[in-house]
Amino acid sequence: MDIITILLLGLGLAMDAFSVSVTDGIILKKPRFCGASKIALFFGGFQFLMPVLGYLLGSAFARYITAFDHWLAFCLLGFIGAKMIWESLHEKDECDEVKNPLDTYTLFILAIATSIDALAVGITFATMSVSVLFASTIIGVMTFAICLLGVYLGSWCGNLLGNKAEITGGLVLIGIGLKILIEHLFF
């Protein structure tokens, strides 16, 4: 696999994580570099780890993983997106917590949901002559950079959207989950 193909693959795999990063930036409004880096590190880190894990699992398990990966991503992203929309439409009591897109648990779940396709790519790497560590590093670094940009882009967009940002973010997450599901069921 040549470097151009790996770069294009990395770009394609990073798009879901980029969209979630934009959503996080919308919610944060004025992200600090440390927070934006945390988001980008989670997504970039999982985009690096999942192809390596997929490669280690090997092609023998491909049919089992691809049978449900799209449903898992759809359910995780759909649940988080619906929760964001529900919370934005209901009045919050003073004691309610404000949604924190920097929450480690939330980032962990979102990073898994957006990198499941990278796991499948790693399984295909096992059947090809490709350096999995080189390719995964390229994919992870690209995702990190794109997501860092996404947080700041989302912050800029969030200032334009005002209080509708959380609804928009929830719809984006649901849309990503639906896109993954449709792609795997029909294409």
pLDDT digits (tens, 9 = 90+) for 37-85: 999 999 999 999 999 998 888 766 656 766 776 787 778 678 777 876 8
* pLDDT for the residue numbered 89: 79
* pLDDT for the residue numbered 27: 85
Most confident of 18-22, 43-47, 117-121, 153-157: 43-47
Greater model confidence, 79 or 146: 146
With a cut of 70, say whether residue 146 has pLDDT above it.
Answer: yes
Annotate 126-139 with b (16+ C-beta within 10 A) or e (fewer).
Answer: beeebebeebbbbb
Closest by CA to 168, choosing from 18, 16, 15, 20, is 20
Annotate 29-57 with b (16+ C-beta within 10 A) or e (fewer).
Answer: eebeeebbbbbbbbbbbbbbbbbbbbbeb
* pLDDT for the residue numbered 151: 95
What gap in Å lies between CA 119 and CA 69, rounded to an integer? 9
With a cut of 90, say whether residue 174 has pLDDT above it.
Answer: no
Q: How large a percentage of the chain has pLDDT more than 70? A: 83
This model's pTM is above 0.75: no
- The token duo for 122 is 């790693």
What gap in Å lies between CA 1 and CA 41, rounded to an integer? 26
Q: Is 173 helix (H, G, I), strand (E, B) or coil?
A: helix
